[in-house]
């Protein structure tokens, strides 16, 4: 073994054989005499004890736990993509057939939530925290999906109630934009609560769901805003004709 030596005069560092321990000799750089320290004078830095059981050679017998990300497998992507594609295809079919009924709009909003929430979590989850997996992940996806779907109540009732409209479709696009922003904030809080995300990540997660749903609605020909309100006479006539 070798001994680390530092010359006190020129600060040159070098190693010598342990057989010179405790002896004095010239520095190879400045030629001034220096004393080689004894073995017991050397500073030995020991790693802190981790408290784990050791084998006969002092090595830990425990294997470190590796963190796994909630990977989006090909099967998951195919299922999620199939669900979204199916809803979009239905939306296009309804548009070509003359219109999308209310029940189809509500059903699409609900069915698209779980796959979009699951895909979004795979991209925005905190890499420094252990990801949710298995049954716990499924339950959190379903809870978050239900909360995001519930935020559509803001669109359906609040603007129409505040502005005394017959339908939320009669609000301007400016008001609709503000409404969607409020929904995004509420959805972000839902994502943060369900998946322990940062607020910005939660906002991205919720906005991904809203964006896909809104685009799908536009593909289906659903009027979300900007519809001209009916006058009182036309509104009464429409109610008589539709029997409502």
- Contact at 8 Å (CB) between 91 and 220? yes
- The set of residues, in sequence order, having a beta carbon less than 8 Å from that of 109 and lying 6+ positions away, is 149, 152, 213
**pLDDT at 235 > cutoff 50:** no
Residue that wins the pLDDT comparison between 33 and 139: 139
What band does 172 get if pLDDT is binned at 50, 70 and 90? confident
- φ, ψ of residue 42 to 5 degrees: the values are -75, 145
How sure is the predictor about 123, in pLDDT bands with cuts at 50, 70 and 90? Answer: confident
Extract the tokens encoding 168.
């939320």
DSSP H helical ranges for 98-151: 102-111, 113-124, 134-150
How many other CB atoms sit within 10 Å of the CB of residue 196? 14
Residue found under tokens 């004709």: 241
Which whole number is the average pLDDT over 222-232? Answer: 70
Question: Which of 68-82, 119-133, 187-201 is predicted least confidently?
Answer: 68-82
The model's confidence at residue 66, banded by pLDDT at 50, 70 and 90, is low
Residue environment code for 94-107, b if the CB has 16+ CB neighbours within 10 A, otherwise e: beeeeebeeebbee
Q: Which residues contact 202 (CB under 8 A, 6 or more apart)?
A: 124, 187, 188, 189, 190, 191, 192, 195
Cα 12–14–19 angle (5° rounding)?
135
**Measured distance CA(185)–CA(110) in Å, rounded:** 19
Radius of gyration for the alpha carbons in the chain, expressed in angstroms and rounded: 34
- Per-residue confidence (pLDDT) for residue 240, from 0 to 100: 54
- Alpha-carbon distance of 138 to 144, in angstroms, equals 10
How much is the mean pLDDT over the chain? 79
Are 25 and 14 within 8 A, CB to CB? no
- Residues 24-39, mean pLDDT to the nearest whole number: 82
53 pLDDT band, cuts 50/70/90, is low
| pLDDT tops 50 at residue 204 | yes
Q: What is the pLDDT of residue 188?
A: 96
| Residues 15-39, mean pLDDT to the nearest whole number | 81
Q: Residue 233: its pLDDT value, please?
A: 44
Q: Which of 106-110, 175-179, 203-207 comes out lowest in average pLDDT? A: 106-110
Q: Is-contact 118 75, C-beta < 8 A?
A: no
pLDDT, residue 180, reads 93
Residue 112 has pLDDT above 80, yes or no: yes
């Amino acid at each position: 073994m070798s001994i680390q030596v530092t010359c006190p005069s020129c600060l040159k560092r070098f190693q010598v054989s342990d057989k010179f321990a405790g002896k004095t000799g010239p520095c190879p750089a400045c030629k001034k005499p220096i004393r080689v320290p004894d073995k017991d004078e050397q500073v030995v830095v020991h790693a802190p004890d981790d408290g784990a059981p050791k084998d006969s050679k002092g090595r830990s017998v425990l294997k470190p736990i590796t963190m796994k990300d909630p990977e989006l497998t090909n099967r998951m992507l195919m299922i999620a993509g199939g669900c979204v594609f199916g809803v979009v295809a239905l939306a296009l079919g309804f548009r070509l057939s003359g219109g999308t009924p209310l029940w189809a709009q509500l059903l699409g909003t609900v069915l698209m939530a779980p796959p979009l929430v699951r895909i979004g979590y795979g991209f925005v989850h905190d890499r420094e925290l252990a990801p949710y997996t298995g049954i716990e992940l499924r339950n959190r996806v379903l809870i978050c999906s239900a909360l995001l779907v519930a935020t559509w109540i803001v669109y359906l009732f609040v603007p129409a109630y505040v502005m005394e409209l017959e339908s939320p479709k009669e609000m301007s696009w400016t008001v609709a934009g503000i409404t969607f922003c409020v929904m995004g904030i509420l959805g972000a809080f839902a994502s943060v609560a369900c998946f322990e995300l940062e607020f910005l990540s939660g906002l991205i997660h919720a906005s991904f769901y809203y964006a896909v749903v809104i685009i799908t609605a536009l593909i289906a020909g659903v009027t979300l805003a900007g519809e001209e309100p009916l006058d009182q006479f036309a509104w009464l006539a429409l109610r008589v004709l539709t029997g409502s």
